[in-house]
Amino acid sequence: MSTKPSKPRGFMFKRIKKKRCRLCSGKTEGIDFKDADFLKSYITERGKIIPRRVSGNCAKHQRTVTKAVKKGREAGVIPFTAE
């Protein structure tokens, strides 16, 4: 008789950051691995590093960020994973 229309798929797309290399814009000169707030802006809630295509970083700075994040983990500034 009556068929229910299938629900439209709600595609939740979270945009984390604007696509722009923040480091290229010149505000940050050096990346400090002790700067937790900075590093946290480049990791997800679960502690994963945000990929370049999401963060919008250029290759050079993404590499620098990745290194800083790894260092920061070692130093205990940011968590390895959030449980």
Asked if residue 23 binds Zn ion (CB under 5 A), the reply is yes
- The CB-of-63 to Zn ion minimum distance in angstroms stands at 10
Asked if residue 24 binds Zn ion (CB under 5 A), the reply is yes
Asked if residue 22 binds Zn ion (CB under 5 A), the reply is no
Asked if residue 21 binds Zn ion (CB under 5 A), the reply is yes
Cβ contact 63:55 at 8 Å:
no
- The CB-of-52 to Zn ion minimum distance in angstroms stands at 10
CA-closest candidate to residue 67, choices 30, 15, 19, 18: 30
d(CA 45, CA 68): 17
d(CA 74, CA 25): 28
By CB under 5 A, the residues from 40 to 69 that bind Zn ion are 58, 61
- The CB-of-80 to Zn ion minimum distance in angstroms stands at 26
